[in-house]
With several copies, the nearest count.
Chain A
Amino acid sequence: MQEHHDDSDLLVILRHGPHGSSWLREGLDAALVAAAFGRRVSLLFMGEGVTALLPGQQVGPLGQKGTAATLEMLEMYDIETLLVEEQGLSCLGLSSDDLMLEVACLSPMALARVLCGHRLVLTF
């Protein structure tokens, strides 16, 4: 994993959960488009963003789609580097076993290294 994301082109930092705002959806859209354009993309779920990976999400009460279905398509787009801030998980009392996708947990030190290792960083 370490050698994998070190030479990725784009790091998309997702700091918001589903349904509460459009940040998560718009960040994912940017990641998907970059991947479709042939860029190697890593996703970093940080802070509240880790809740995007909780299983059992549903459409909103007015029929809002949410983002869980998009996350399940990431592999099809060759987005395989899913990084999660360890601190973001523990702060909510969660562990990586609670999540719907396979992720790599990042210690604070590793997190700073990841930011240095990408040609472009977008925060959402």
Chain B
Amino acid sequence: MRYAILLMGAPYSDQASHSALRFARALVARGHRLEAVFFYHDGVHNAARLAAPPQDEPHLVDAWAALANEHRVALQVCIAAALRRGLLDEREAARHGKDGVSVQAPFELTGLGQLVDLGTRCDRLVTFGP
């Protein structure tokens, strides 16, 4: 089946990101296709490229990137939710006159239309909230 995940919790603050990542790995292992993870609300913090967790804790940003690369999973970050929370890619940084970048590939800033599209296109959409 084709799956999508909607993740609305921040890493480290609550377990939603851990649960979503574990679920993502399990569904891929069962032979399903994970089209995309959509990050909304505080879930956008999963894309924070500057995150520097202690070395004895899982690095969730890196773990998402690894999953994306291994299984061609799109990592879509709601642009409106991200901008408010200080998460900008190069283009948005330029547009808002900020001299810094906090989001990079394979994460991509995108609109809520993508979430609607995923919900319609995929067989299953599973939400992980904080």
Contact = CB atoms under 8 A, between A and B. Distances in A.
A62 B21 contact: yes
Contacts of A63: 57-58
A21 B111 contact: no
B41 A30 contact: no
A113 interface: no
A123 interface: yes
Nearest to B6: A122
Nearest to B58: A62
A63 B56 CA distance: 8
B113 A120 contact: no
B18 A39 contact: no
Interface string A1-40: 0000000011000000001111100100110011011010
A64 B15 CA distance: 10
Given A10-B119, A62-B18, A123-B127, A37 B113 contact: yes
B40 A64 contact: no
A60 B13 CA distance: 15
B121 to A, nearest CB: 11
Q: Tell which of A22, A119, A120 has the most Cβ of chain B within 10 Å.
A: A22
B116 A61 contact: no
Interface of B: 6, 12-15, 18, 21-22, 40-41, 56-58, 63, 80-81, 111-113, 115-117, 119-120, 125, 127, 129
